[in-house]
């Protein structure tokens, strides 16, 4: 079965659950690198992917950091972080059981299995104790969610992050570039996009001002020129204020 046939077969139409079905089927495709299994099959050079991820976390993840990823997939984001920073603790949650199994076999080999959960956000985040992690990440996940669930996920990510820690939300689809991105995604995902698959969620950069009362907020685009999505997608950093 070709990749396009695999992606287009039996798709559940229920919001972000439909996308979980698509990404789970990538494990039956010809792709082998983690980032391509996670959907970035247009990026052939793993070095570019690693450079892109390090651009996102540099200055926030440090040696010994504890990191949780909401929507961790098969570990495409956590793997380059783990490779470049020593003695870190990783955990995560994803709606795809196949993705979590792959992550445990290929990325989190020396990590406690209980650090990784199968479930959907924001609901599964409710099971995690407050103030557990230095860095909480969600990368290229929010476009597959409703706005309500995306904002609820931000609240829960902040809750499980330690005071002084940071929530990083990467690859957010910029509302300003909606028309251009929709055209590209139709090419990227094929005829099922907008018919069997929910369209992306787009969020304006101004949205994040609502968190300024409890966080130091930074919004920026990726500095990695090879990442062609960098103009139409952006990164948000919410530095949680220390308790008085």
User: Over the stretch 45-94, which tens digit does the pLDDT of each residue have?
Assistant: 999 999 999 999 999 999 999 999 999 999 999 999 999 999 999 999 99
Question: What CATH code is carried by the domain that includes residue 26?
Answer: 3.40.50.150
pLDDT digits (tens, 9 = 90+) for 156-207: 999 999 999 999 999 999 999 999 999 888 887 777 776 767 789 999 999 9
Residue 4: pLDDT band with limits 50, 70, 90 = very low
Task: Spell out the SS3 assignment of the chain.
Answer: CCHHHHHHCCCCCCHHHHHHHHHHHHHHCCCCCHHHHCCCCCCCCHHHHHHHHHHHHECCECCCCEEEEECCCCCCCHHHHHHHCCCCEEEEEECCHHHHHHHHHHCCCCCCHHHEEECCCCHHHHHCCCCCEEEEEEECCHHHCCHHHHHHHHHHHHHHEEEEEEEEEEEEEEHHHHHHHHHHHHHHHCCCECCCECCCCCECHHHHHHHCCCEEEEEECCCCCCCHHHHCEEEEEEEECCCC
Domain that holds residue 9: 3-240
* Average confidence score pLDDT of the chain: 88
- Counting the structural domains of the chain, the total is 1
What predicted TM-score, i.e. pTM, was given to this entire model? 0.89
């Amino acid at each position: 079965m070709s990749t396009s046939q695999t992606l287009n077969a039996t798709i559940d139409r229920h919001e972000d659950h439909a996308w979980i079905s698509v990404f789970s089927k990538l494990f039956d495709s010809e792709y082998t690198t983690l980032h391509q299994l996670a959907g970035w099959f247009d990026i052939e050079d793993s070095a570019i992917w690693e450079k892109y991820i390090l651009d996102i976390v540099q200055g926030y993840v440090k040696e010994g950091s504890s990191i949780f990823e909401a929507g961790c997939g098969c570990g495409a984001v956590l793997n380059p972080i783990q490779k470049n920073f020593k003695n870190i603790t990783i955990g995560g949650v994803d709606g795809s059981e196949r993705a979590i199994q792959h992550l445990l076999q290929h990325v989190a080999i020396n990590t406690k299995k209980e650090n990784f959960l199968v479930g959907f956000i924001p609901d599964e985040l409710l099971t995690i104790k407050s103030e557990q992690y230095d860095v909480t990440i969600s990368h290229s996940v929010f476009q597959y969610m409703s706005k309500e669930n995306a904002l609820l996920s931000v609240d829960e990510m902040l809750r499980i992050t330690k005071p002084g820690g940071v929530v990083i939300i990467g690859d957010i689809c910029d509302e300003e570039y909606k028309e251009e991105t929709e055209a590209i995604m139709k090419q990227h995902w094929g005829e099922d996009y907008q018919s069997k698959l929910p369209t992306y969620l787009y969020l304006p950069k101004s949205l994040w001002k609502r968190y300024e009362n409890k966080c130091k907020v930074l919004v920026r685009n990726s500095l990695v020129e090879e990442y062609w999505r960098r103009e139409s997608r952006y990164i948000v950093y919410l530095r949680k204020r220390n308790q008085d």
